[in-house]
Amino acid sequence: ASPPSAVVPTADVEIPVPDIAGVRASLGALRVSVVCTEELQTLHLNHAILQTCLPGRSSARGRLGPQTPDAANASSPFVLFGQHRYDLVQLESSQVALADCKIAFQERRDNSKEIEAVRLRHRNLQIRYYEAVEDFQNRIAGLETR
């Protein structure tokens, strides 16, 4: 018998390379699944709450059903009064705006008349100026000929 060997046999083992894209895709799908599960649990909880509230609402609707037309008829004069007051306020603000527009229009019309008067006066003054210049030039020409 030979003595036991102190050398441990080794084998070349390749470490598997993980598919990173596949792992990421799996994690993404898992994340979506977790979110959907949480949303489903929330929906179930909300559904249970709504089911507990529904019978109370149905009985309240049954009690209030006949009262609704009476309440509408009773509130009609108040609604009409409120609408009338609103219309009056709107009319008043519209009248104020119209008055402001009329004043601005009148001022612009007055300004346009003043501008037209200034233009006429300017034209007359230009005519007088050209006549005076012509007269002075004639006098100068007359004095130069002497």
The 10s digit of each residue's pLDDT in 107-143 is 998 888 899 999 999 999 999 999 999 999 999 999 9
Residue 117: CB atoms within 10 A of its CB come to 10
Residue type, 109: R
Distance CA 22, CA 73 (A): 69
Q: Which residue has the higher pLDDT, 75 or 95?
A: 95
Q: Which residue has the tokens 């006549």?
A: 131
The more confidently predicted of residues 15 and 122 is: 122
Interatomic CA distance for residues 30 and 19, integer angstroms:
16
pLDDT for 75: 84
Task: Provide the residue count of the chain.
Answer: 146
Please choose, from the candidates 94, 91, 113, 90, the residue with its C-alpha nearest in 3D space to the C-alpha of residue 102: 94
Whether the pLDDT of residue 3 is over 70: the answer is no
Residue range 5-31: mean pLDDT, rounded: 81
Angstrom distances, CA of residue 80 to CA of 70, 94, 144: 16, 21, 94
pLDDT: which is higher, 47 or 3:
47
DSSP 116-138: HHHHHHHHHHHHHHHHHHHHHHH
H helices present in the chain, as ranges: 20-64, 67-145
Could you report the per-residue pLDDT of 77-113, keeping only the tens digit for each?
A: 888 899 999 999 999 999 999 999 999 999 998 888 8
